[in-house]
Amino acid sequence: MQSVKLAPSILSADFARLGEQVATAVNAGAEYIHVDVMDGHFVPNITIGPLIVAALRPLARETGAILDVHLMIEKPDRYLADFAKAGADILTVHVETCPHLHRTIQAIRELGVRPGVTLNPATPLVTLEEILPDVDLVLIMSVNPGFGGQSYIPGSTAKIRRLRHMLDAIGSTADLEVDGGVKPGNAAEIAAAGANVLVAGSAIFGGRSITDNIAAFRGALG
């Protein structure tokens, strides 16, 4: 099993204490900061935009944390430059929102940002086949996007395993990230299936202390 990175989703953080909570997560060893951007159209919820990415940039640059931006918005091409300027290190788009996915991925790379691609739970992996060689990250949604705190869809593990085979078959070193319902209790299963970046919102920013929550993930991952 390769070393697994943690990507706390700030969606479940206390936004009145955002900087402090993200700093705690990064100081406890989280490598990525996962930013969930929702537009109330592609997904039912509305969240945040480039301003929050820009606000977190100094912390990310000081600590080396990666600003991992997950765009759950229609017509994402309109906002790529804004997020790049705000400091996104990774920009991940949904295949369901990109009729010209190859063009979108190239546009992200031309902005100097690492391109990622993701797909909803019911969207088959075959939709990624042609774009896999061009991306630096593939995100498997293990819940229907829109809200934190949902339960992991069990069939996601088999999908992760199949994607791991697809990436290995083309010699890709892209991150395989998983998002939704990830907890210390299922982290080992997800990593064993081939994921190397785990997003967790409620399991990191909810319940006990952020530091203890991250330690629980590290314990589970061995």
* Interface contacts to Zn ion, rule CB under 5 A: 36, 70, 179
Q: How many residues does the chain have?
A: 222
Site for ligand DX5 in 71-130 (CB under 6 A): none
CB 177 within 8 A of CB 195: yes
CA distances from 146 to 21, 61, 79 (A): 22, 28, 19
Cα separation, 53 vs 49, in Å, equals: 7
**Of residues 44 and 58, the one with the C-beta less far from ligand DX5:** 44
The least distance separating Zn ion from the CB of residue 204, rounded to whole angstroms, comes to 13
In the three-class reduction of DSSP (H, G, I as helix; E, B as strand; rest coil), residue 210 is classed as helix
Cβ-contact 114, 161 below 8 angstroms: no
Catalytic residue list contains 39: no
**163 makes contact with ligand DX5 (CB under 6 A):** no
Identified catalytic residue from 77, 89, 179, 212: 179
> Toward Zn ion, which CB reaches closer, 14 or 110?
14
216 binds, options ligand DX5, Zn ion, none, Cβ within 5 to 8 A by partner type: none
Amino acid (1-letter code) at residue 2: Q
Residues 36-75, mask of contacts with ligand DX5 (x by CB under 6 A): x---------------------------------x-----
Token digits of residue 49: 């935009």
Among residues 90, 77, 102, which one has the least CA distance to residue 175?
Answer: 90
**Shortest Å, Cβ 222 to ligand DX5:** 21
Q: What is the CA radius of gyration of the chain?
A: 16
Question: Catalytic residue positions?
Answer: 36, 179
| Residues contributing to the site for ligand DX5 (CB under 6 A) | 9, 11-12, 34, 36, 70, 143, 145-146, 148-150, 179-182, 199-203
